[in-house]
Structure 1
Amino acid sequence: MKIIVPMAGRGSRLRPHTLTIPKPLIPVAGQPIVHRLVKDIAKVLKQPIDEIAFILGDEAFFGNDVVSSLKQLAESLNAKASIYRQDQPLGTGHAIMCAKESLSGPAVIAYADTLIRADFNLDQEADSVIWVKKVDNPEAFGVVNLNDKNEIIELVEKPKTYISDLAVIGIYYFKDVGVLKAELQKVLDNNIKNGGEYQINDGIKGMMANGNIFKTGQVKAWMDCGNKAVTIETNSKMLNFLQKDRTEQLISPDVSKKNSDIIVPCFIGQNVKLVNTTIGPNVSIGNDCTIENSTVKNSLIQNHSMIKNANLDQAMIGNHVSYDGKFTKVSLGDYSVLE
């Protein structure tokens, strides 16, 4: 089994946090988004992963540190890491075809801006499985249309009339991803574009027209990481899942506390110092942070940051930040927000 991960986007909706780090590597509940996504997919598949192909953007932004992190992720699953580049933002179908050398055999394609919680077996009769989630407002999503055999017969983007309430979440299984490759090659050769880009849906429509059977796989939870607000919400949800699972150590044993309290669920990394501070619930703090005279809840703080005299709720703070709630002088760069 292979996992194909297109992740070349810049994550502009999550600025300023994505000015220096690609969105898929931003930590949620202590691990980068793409790490959690790939590991959760591997758990669902319940079979060995042979190769993980990552489609990255240009080397100036997705540099050696990014490649090294992704190779370590693949190695942790005893899989080969393959690195490809998408130099132009020409759509989801184009991104997948950038990894054409890896497009053979059974594979899962997963876009690295979402997290899931799921537990099911793949339908062995299906040529493909598209992961979906029931939503209250299907008109805001791409949804699947099913026949009386619960097979997917159509993909409809933001339907104006009711089709179904099953939204496509951007994770797909193909019994032979080479079939998708052949259909996407036709899309490229014939310059078939939607919204000015080559889309995976047009390759899938070609497979459906040829009689390939598509089924749905439903997830228990679908968590977006598209912007600051939903990333903080996703961090909170993931912390609650992990607290119940008890499969990960969420609070480092070397946390230094002086007159401070931690209200779980929280993730707190290594070498964190808390002084006269209350942390939680639903807070993630990276390594080497110091927080003094503060209250922090429902927030996400990355590594090497110093927080003083703060009352934070729904906050997202990056790396190497120095923040004093009693500031009188400020120096704020592009895309910074104080609310």
Structure 2
Amino acid sequence: MKIIVPMAGRGSRLRPHSLTVPKPLIPVAGKPIVHRLVADIAGVLKQDIEEIAFILGDPAFFGDDVVESLKELATELGAKASIYRQLDPKGTGHAIMCAEPSLSGPAVIAYADTLIRADFDLDADADSVIWTKRVENPEAYGVVNLNEKNEIIELVEKPTEFVSDQAVIGIYYFKDVGVLKNELQYVLDNNIINGGEYQINDGIKQMMAKGKIFKTGTVDEWMDCGNKTVTIETNQRMLNFLHADGEKLVADSAQIENSEVIEPCFIGEGAVIVNSKIGPHVSIGKNTKVLDSKVKNSLIQTNSLIKNATLEEAMIGNNAKFDGEFTRVSIGDYSVLE
């Protein structure tokens, strides 16, 4: 089994946090988004992963440190890492084709801006499985249209009339991803463009037209990391899940003095908490110091200094300094408020 991860986008909706760190590498509940996503997919598949192919953008932004972290992720899962580049953002279908040498055999394609919780078995009779989540407002999403056999016969973007309540979340399984590759090559060769870009859906539609069987795999939880507000919400939900799973969330090397920590919270290695009240639902990255502060439902990254603060629904980047009494803040890397 292979996992293909297109992650070349700059994450503009999550700025300023994605100005210096690619969005998929921003930690949520103590671990980068793409690391959690790939590990969770591997858990659902219940199969050995032989290769993980990452499609990155410009090397000036997705540099050697990014490549090394992704290679380490693949190694942790016993897989080979393959690195590809999408230097010209021409859409989801084009991004997949940038990994053309890896497009053979069974594979999962997962876009790295979402997290999941799921437990289901892949349908052995299906040529493809599109992972979905039941939603209350399907008109706001792309959804699947099912026939009487519960096979997907159509993908409908933001339907004005009810089609189904199963939204497409951006994770796909293909029994042979080479079939998708051939159809996407047809899309490219014939300049089939939607929204100004080459889309994966057009390759999927070609497969459906040729009688390939598509089924759904419904996830229990689908958590977005697209902007600051939903990323903080996702951090909260993920901390709840990890706490319920019994996962250790406070590093042994963290120093907590004269402070109260209300679970669930993630506190990274070398973090220092003094005279403060932390939690619930706070993630604090390694080597960050929080002094004389109250922080809840917030996400603070690494090597930052927070003091004299009362924070709620805050997201603070790496190497930042914050000293004050602001509350609803969004501070990027290397920012200073004193």
Aligned partner of 1:244 in structure 2 is 244
TM-score, length of structure 2 as denominator length: 0.96
Cα distance in 2, alignment partners of residues 254 and 184 from structure 1: 49
Mapped to 1, the partners of 2:160 and 2:194 lie a distance apart of 18
Deviations 1:205-256 (A, max 9, x none): 000000000000000000000000000000000000000111x321011221
Write the distance in 1 (CA, Å) between the matches of 2:23 and 2:211: 37
Partner of 1:257: 256
C-alpha separation between the residues in 2 aligned to 1:159 and 1:316? 34
> Counterpart of 1:108?
108
Secondary structure of residue in 1 paired with 2:168: strand
- Equivalent-residue separation in structure 1 for 2:99 and 2:189 (angstroms): 17
Q: Structure 1 272/30 Cα, relative in aligned 2: closer, same or farther at 3 Å?
A: same
Contact 2:107 2:177 in 1 (8 A): yes
What residue identity is the alignment partner of 1:286? G
Structure 2: distance between partners of 1:152 and 1:307: 50
Query: Which of structure 1's runs of 4+ aligned residues deviate more than 3 A?
Result: none
SS of corresponding position for 1:238: helix
Aligned to 2:322: 323
Structure 1 match to 2:302? 303
What residue is the counterpart of 1:173 in the other structure?
Answer: 173
Could you tell me how far 1:7 is from its partner in structure 2? 0.1
Q: Partners of 2:186 and 2:272 in 1: how far apart? A: 57
Q: CA deviation at 1:272?
A: 1.1
**Contact 2:310–2:325 (CA under 8 A) maintained in structure 1:** no
Q: Deviation string for 1:157-203 (max 9, x for gaps)? A: 01111111100000000000000000000000000000000000000
In the alignment, what sits opposite 2:128? Answer: 128
What secondary structure is seen at the aligned counterpart in 1 of 2:143? strand
What residue number does 1:278 align with? Answer: 277
Q: Match of 1:285, as an amino acid?
A: I
Structure 2 SS opposite 1:3: strand
DSSP 3-state at the match of 1:144: strand
> TM-score, normalised on structure 1?
0.96
Partner letter of residue 146 of structure 1?
L
Whole-angstrom distance in 2 between the partners of 1:108 and 1:255: 37
Amino acid at match of 1:189: D
Structure 1 residue 326 displacement after superposition: 5.5
The one-letter code matched in structure 2 to 1:236 is Q
SS, match of residue 41 in structure 1: helix
Q: Following the alignment from structure 1 to structure 2, what is the Cα–Cα distance between the partners of residues 273 and 104?
A: 48
Give 2:73's aligned residue.
73
The aligned amino acid for 1:172 is Y
Percentage of identical aligned residues: 74
Closer, same or farther in 2 for the Cα pair 1:154/1:278, shift >3 Å? same
Unaligned runs of 5+ in 2: none
2:50: which partner in 1? 50
Structure 1 residues 337 and 152, CA gap change in structure 2 (3 angstroms)? farther
From the superposition, tell whether residues 104 and 114 of structure 1 become closer, same or farther in structure 2 (CA, over 3 Å). Answer: same
Distance 2:236 2:298 in 1: 8
Q: Distance in 2 between matches of 1:204 and 1:255?
A: 48
Post-superposition shift, 1:269?
0.3
Residue identity in the other structure for 2:242: L
Q: Would you say how many aligned residue pairs link Structure 1 and Structure 2?
A: 332
Aligned-pair CA distance for 1:337: 12
Residue 2 of structure 2 corresponds to 2
**Cα drift, residue 333 of structure 1:** 8.7
Look up the match of 1:41. 41
What is the CA–CA distance in structure 1 between the aligned matches of 2:43 and 2:32, rounded to whole Å? Answer: 17
What is the CA–CA distance in structure 2 between the aligned matches of 1:333 and 1:205, rounded to whole Å?
40
Deviation at 1:274, TM superposition (A): 1.1
Distance 2:20 2:234 in 1: 21
Query: How far, CA to CA, are the matches of 1:168 and 1:302 in structure 2?
Result: 30
Kept in 1: contact 2:114–2:222 (CA 8 A): yes
The answer to whether the 8 Å contact 2:116/2:222 transfers is yes
SS at match of 2:83: strand
Q: Shift of the alpha carbon at 1:257?
A: 1.8
- Kept in 1, the 8 Å contact 2:322–2:336? The answer is no
Q: Distance in 1 between matches of 2:23 and 2:209?
A: 35
SS of the residue corresponding to residue 129 of structure 2 reads strand
Structure 1 regions of 5+ residues with no counterpart?
A: none
- Taking structure 1 as reference, are residues 260 and 200 closer, same or farther at Cα in structure 2, changes over 3 Å only? same
Q: What does residue 213 of structure 2 align with?
A: 213
How far 1:275 sits from its partner (Å)? 1.1
Give the letter aligned to residue 84 of structure 1. Y
CA deviation string 1:246-279 (max 9, x = no partner)? 1x32101122122101000010001111111001
**In 1: Cα distance, 2:266 partner to 2:289 partner:** 14
RMSD: 1.5
